[in-house]
Every structure is written in C-alpha cells, then in structure tokens.
Structure 1
C-alpha cells in the first residue's frame, strides 16, 4: 500500500513525497507535492493505474485496440522482422481505422463480421481479408484473452470469404530452356539454373556462399536465409538481414548435379571468390538498358483509341504517345527512339544510374524488374511464372521423374509431406497414364 513521506528542505520548506510499490515490489515515487492531501491523491492514482494492469481486473479492457496493439501486443509479440513489417502495414491499412478507437472489451464478433463485409465492399481480396483476420486479429485477441484483457474472443468462429486454390501451372523443361536463353547475363543464367536445380527459396539462394557448397562431394548445405526489410524494421537500419537458420528452422543438405557443380566451380575460380563470399552478387547498377528498336512504318499499325477530344492517331508516332497517351509497345518505342536521338545529338543528358543500397545481396524487386520480367516477355511462355515458381517446378520435375516423396520433402525443407504431395501430377502430361487406362478399358 502507498503512503506519504514528509520531507524538509535545506531552507526549511516542508514537502510531501508520494510513494508506492510496483508489481515487482520495487518502491516508486509518484512525485513531491506541497500538501499531504495532494501527495495522498498522487499515490492512490498511481496504485489505481497499476491495478488496471493486473490480471482479472476488468479495467484492463478499457484500453483501446490502438493502445493495446501499439503499446502491448506489437512490441512484446515474438515474430520475425519481416512478419512484424507485414503485420504493421496491414494493421495500419485495414484494421486501425475500424477497431483503433474501440475499447478492447467492446469489440464483439458482430463487429468483426461487419468489418469483413466492409472489406469486401471496398474490393479487398479474399486472401487479404483472411490474412488480416486469421493471422493478425486472431493472434491479437488470443493474446488479449490469455492475458485476461478481454473475456470474449471476438474473431473466433468468424467466417471469411473463401480463397480459391487455383491449380499450379508448372513450367516445362522446354519452356525453361527458352527462358534461360532469354536471360541477359551469364550471372543471371547461373542463378536461375541454380534455382531450378536446387529448389531453394529466394532468400536461401541469394544468401548462398562458397563455403555452403562442397564442390568435391557436390553437397549443398542450406543453413541461412536473407530477408529484405524497410529500414524502420531492421535492427541496425539496413536493408538486408541474414538469419542463421532457413525458413523451416532446420539445416538441410542436398546433392547437386555434376553439371551445375562444375559451372559453380568455374564461377568461383573466375571471380576469385573466398569461402565467405556470396555466390551471386548485385552488380551495383540498374540492370541492362534495353535499346529502342528500329522505327516501324505507322501506316501498318492502325489507329489509337479516341482521346478525350475524340481524335485518333497512328500507332508508333510521337503524337500518339503525347496526344492519345497510348502506351503500347510501338508508341513507347517511338518515344524511346526520339529520346535516344536527342541524347545522341547532345541535346539531352541522360540521368545517372540509380544506385541501390545493398550489402551485395541481390534486391528481389530489382531482379524481377530488370532481369526476370524482360526475359519472360522475350521467351513468350503464354503465362507469367515467378522466380519462386522454379521451386515448384523443381519439386514437380523430381516427382514426375520418379523421385521418392520423402526425399523430395527433405530436399525442399517442407514441414509436412502433405505439402510435397501437392506437386504430384502437376505437369501437363501428368494424367496421360489415367487416359491410357481409360482408353484401354473402352477399347475392350
């Protein structure tokens, strides 16, 4: 229990200090006052506020969702930095405007259901709604329920829109060869071939170092991954954070083919890489610059859609680019040819290349925009695979080739074999055996 202590200063002035014990039994001061009455009120206020933080006290539920999330839950909830960044972004975008001002004890399941409907009306995707509800709200309210901040779990049992599971489209060996040939540099080709040969995740692939591969036994050890973060969520304000364990939190070892191992050996020797050096390094430029194609006869290209004034212009001309605001490939190329000619005549100075802030790791978005997307366009595969889809292709190719399911599971670092089973029969010719069996019976 708190109390008041009388204090006399050097000049004889009498003051009263308010004292109380915190939850750990440590004596604390609530301030010094001119009268004993003020001091008594001060330690009583401090004890009342302290009581709000004790388990079982209903006053704990008076704090708002915003206060609880920003001051209690987010700072003290253990999670990966990338997860914290994602959670914070989704909370600020989708949750705080709805639940922020509400007291924790006043949030009921009906309000969570209303929020789901509002999100649908705003056009949010089912996946976003499910992520916010199942991952963020559930975790927040579960912690609050366990800590007796609330006595009803508001999001438990609340339904969200169905997220359809679309069939995976797996890149075939022929399509991969076309994509491989379209890559602009030998370094990019080696990185992508390593991806399809190993099935590594992007963070594991770009954190590979020479010491991780035994070039004699062809054994690759996956022991780390790298995350790319905003500066606000990086412990030291950087951009790349290396974790000393992969996503599945277990080291794993896998064997590489002879041909990719020899390519890696040649790469290591040519670049004179040491054991601790990254195998794949960002080259500190903004990627290969595409040159404008030769101009095409506008008479062969037809006319643009009408602009606001109802006028149409020939594709592949500067007037179509400026007045019709057409951004088709021909009109954009016309603008590129025009700018290139001005630079060649000395009338324009090109902007200096933008340098990325990196410690040598390859930024994911840079690789996608400067390397992957242009190569994918040139290859013209009929669909748009991501770099991560090469991991799916690795699993599908292994299983289609007769590899053991458990071996593939361990190779990819899946937590359950059910995840690996999803890659069975994903290639275009996977159902051929079933069709042959059906045809055999029908022919009788």
Structure 2
C-alpha cells in the first residue's frame, strides 16, 4: 500500500512525496507535488499500473543514454558475439558521441533526425548511417520502450538517405581459373576450390573438419561455424570463437562432386589428419609435405620494384619484400646475432596464438589479393563472391531453385532468386528472341526459290480439305435434327 510523505524544503515550503511499492517490494517515488491529493493520486496510479503489468517509473527516464546503454542494454541484450562486436564499434564511434549525455526521456524524433544530419556532416556514408540507425539505435529504443523507460520510440519512422543495391558481378569460370592458377600453394588452391564447389561461408569453410564429410557418399554436413573477434570482444580473450551452429541456426547436408571429394581425401592422407582435425588450418612449414611445398629453386628473383635480388639475404627481405623461408631465416639469424652481441634491444616476445583457424584477413592479403592482381581481371572479386558464383553457376546450369536454397542455407527463397540471370551470358536467350522479332517472318535462304506449281498444288489441297470438313459438319447437323424430331 502506498502513502504520501510530507517534505519541507529549506525555504520552508511544504511538499508532498508520493511513495509506492514496486513489483519487487521496494519503496519507490512517484514524484513530489505541491498538493497532497495530487501525491495520493500519483502513488495510486503507480500501484494500479503494477497490478495491470504496466509499471511506470518516471525516475528511470532520467538516466542518461550512456548509463542505460552501458549498464542495462549492452550487458543484457542477447546477440551473437560478432554482432556484439559490430554493435559496440558503431555505438562508440557514431552514436555515443552525440547522445551520451542526453536523458532517455528527453530524446525525441527531432533529435534523431539532427543526429543523422550530424553524421552526414562528418562524412559518414549512407550505408553506415542506415546500419547505425536501423540495427543499433532502433534496438536500443525498442528495448527501452518495452521496459517503460521511454514513452515513445524516437527513432521509429525516421528516414535515412536511400542506399542503392549494388549490381552483383559474378565470377566466370575463366576468371576463377585465372585466380586459381596464381594462388601460392596447393593448400590455398584446395581451399578456394572447395569454396566454389560448396558455396560455404568463410566461417563454415574454415571450421570444416574431417568428420563432417562422408567420403563414401560425398555428403557434407554443415553444423558449426567460427567467427573471428578482437580479444576484447571474445568471452575468453581469444581470437576465434566456434559456434555449434551455422548462420540461421540451421544444420544442412548436401553432396559434393566426386572430384573435390577425391582431392579432400588425398589432402587428409597427405597430412595424416584425424576425424577431429580441420581440413584447412595454419600449419608450420615443417608440417607441409615436401610434394606440396611450393619451392622456388632459382637463386634470384625480380621484385615489384624491378630490381633483382638473391634469396636468403637481408636485402631480399627488406627491399625485395620477399618472405620465403630462406629470406625469413636469413633475417631472423641476422637479428639473433645482433641481439647476442648486445647491439639491439630485445623486443617484447610476441604472443603466438595456437589456434589453428585461418584468419580471413591473413588469407586475403597473403593469398587472395596477390592472385587476383596477377590474374589481371577487370574487377576485384572478394573471397565471399565464390559463394555467389556457386549459386549462379548452379542456377545457370538448370539446378532447382529450392535445391540451391537448401545448399546455401538461405531462410527465404527470395534470397536465392537474386542469383538468377546473374551471369554475363544470362540474357543471350532474350537477345535471340528480340532479334527474331525484329528480323520479321522467316525468308527462304539466299539462292532458294519456291516453285509456283508447288505453291498452287498446296493451295488446292487446302481448299479440298476445307470442303470435306464442311460437308461432314453439315451431315452431322442433319442427323442430329432428325433424331430430335418427334415421331
């Protein structure tokens, strides 16, 4: 049961504070008023809302945006680890500097609109503004509205600049072969080929283990994924977090082609992998079989700057930018010798992460980008574009749309439909039909004529057949009329 407390200010003014008990039995204030009846009305309304499940505490709306986000929303909002990392980055870079000191109940739609203008003035792109508003800010105020911290949703209905959907450019088979030939070693080639053959996401591909593939049937089971995080965002301070489910939280099974299954089986035998080992992992040079190592037997090489350097020298490592085993070893021996002589201050030992998962950033810069540049394509495809190419190639080859959807793990069929007619040759049928209409009715080939007597004979035969059909129709109607005539 609530009550009213009399309070006297320092100036001697009598005020009345409305007190009520919340759902947890704690005594809370519903406000301070000049009249006793107003205070009694306030605590009764507060208790009524608690009984109906619509608790309202005006004091909660006074908390500042930063306090609410850091103490209530961010620690308790359920989301994926990589989503939390992205939200936190956008929050502290684009949202918090504007709203941090504002009280939650004092943030209105006009403030959100001013914030969008503020971001545009700072050079933030439309796509990033849309992400911050739609994904992050909307999620914060949706939760605040649900918890009765604010009475309106200030960011709902606020428009941002349109973000046009980019035209998806699909890798052709020739372009893929050009990149494949320029990859540095057999392991990276097998990884890329498995990606184009399966359409797996990077996190699913790099978490693929030997036990996930049935070599007898060629059936691949996708049941896990790995995400790469900063050590601050990882719950254990590591870099890679393995999830027991792929994206959309749905396991899937599909079949691989016999040729890629045979290559994966040979890969397993070459490295003597166990069922729990990763197919693709960071391995030391000593662990790579001799027949899989890409060794440059030539003593010299031509660097990107146009000069010739000798392998196994400091100059080749520093100026030639060569990072082969011989050049790396020469540089390491040189630094070790100087440290032993006391000429260089030893640097702090680097912490080596024992996790065998392949970093997406490392693969891009050490394998994919160099191969892409060497292929000299007219655009710059990403590693993720191999997944797009997998879907487009299947649909262009006549695969069922529902089957492709299940292979890719899409939730909606409309997502898979985006890959229809995405190859450069997809419009050739339409162009052929257009050309057929524009060229008019078919004409006999050059040098070929139709004889007049043949044409006349054909016309007479058509006329004869029409006469026969007309006689049969008249006879049938006459017979029907006699049958229906009364006796």
Task: Give the distance between the partners of 1:274 and 1:346, measured in 2 at CA.
Answer: 33
Closer/same/farther in 2, CA of residues 393 and 354 from structure 1, 3 Å limit: farther
Task: Give the distance between the partners of 2:85 and 2:143, measured in 1 at CA.
Answer: 19
Residues 1:210 and 2:206 aligned together:
no
Task: Give the distance between the partners of 1:346 and 1:277, measured in 2 at CA.
Answer: 31
Q: Which moved more, 1:221-230 or 1:355-364?
A: 355-364
Task: Give the distance between the partners of 1:438 and 1:92, measured in 2 at CA.
Answer: 55
Instruction: Please give the root-mean-square deviation of Cα atoms over the aligned residues, in Å.
Output: 3.4
Asked if 1 retains the 8 angstrom alpha-carbon contact of 2:210 and 2:279, the reply is yes
Say which of 402, 414, 420 aligns to 1:418: 414
Task: Give the distance between the partners of 1:296 and 1:219, measured in 2 at CA.
Answer: 44
1:127 shift after superposition: 1.0
Task: Give the distance between the partners of 1:61 and 1:363, measured in 2 at CA.
Answer: 44
1:181-196 mapped onto 2 (5 Å cutoff): 181-196=181-196
- TM-score, normalised via structure 2 length: 0.70
**Equivalence for 1:146:** 146
Task: Give the distance between the partners of 1:334 and 1:252, measured in 2 at CA.
Answer: 46
**Equivalence for 1:224:** 224
Instruction: Give 1 or 2 for the bigger CA radius of gyration.
Output: 2
Closer/same/farther in 2, CA of residues 428 and 62 from structure 1, 3 Å limit: same
Task: Give the distance between the partners of 1:193 and 1:405, measured in 2 at CA.
Answer: 22
Aligned residues: 369
State the SS of the aligned residue for 1:283: coil
Asked if 2 retains the 8 angstrom alpha-carbon contact of 1:240 and 1:358, the reply is no
Asked if 1 retains the 8 angstrom alpha-carbon contact of 2:317 and 2:331, the reply is no
List per-residue Cα deviations over 1:135-167 (Å, max 9, x = no partner): 000010011011110001110111111111111
**Equivalence for 1:329:** none
1:237-248 mapped onto 2 (5 Å cutoff): 237-248=237-248
1:69-218 mapped onto 2 (5 Å cutoff): 69-218=69-218
Asked if 2 retains the 8 angstrom alpha-carbon contact of 1:292 and 1:336, the reply is no
Asked if 2 retains the 8 angstrom alpha-carbon contact of 1:145 and 1:152, the reply is yes
Asked if 1 retains the 8 angstrom alpha-carbon contact of 2:304 and 2:320, the reply is no
1:345 shift after superposition: 11
State the SS of the aligned residue for 2:248: coil
Asked if 2 retains the 8 angstrom alpha-carbon contact of 1:196 and 1:394, the reply is yes
Asked if 2 retains the 8 angstrom alpha-carbon contact of 1:268 and 1:279, the reply is yes
1:344 shift after superposition: 7.7
**Equivalence for 2:58:** 58
Unmatched tracts of structure 1, length 5 or more: 3-19, 28-50, 299-315, 318-331
Asked if 1 retains the 8 angstrom alpha-carbon contact of 2:199 and 2:388, the reply is yes
List per-residue Cα deviations over 1:111-137 (Å, max 9, x = no partner): 111111111111111111000000000
Task: Give the distance between the partners of 1:266 and 1:379, measured in 2 at CA.
Answer: 27
**Equivalence for 1:258:** 258
List per-residue Cα deviations over 1:68-124 (Å, max 9, x = no partner): 100000111000011111111110000111000000011111111111111111111
- TM-score, normalised via structure 1 length: 0.76
Task: Give the distance between the partners of 2:59 and 2:321, measured in 1 at CA.
Answer: 69
Closer/same/farther in 2, CA of residues 380 and 292 from structure 1, 3 Å limit: farther
State the SS of the aligned residue for 1:221: strand
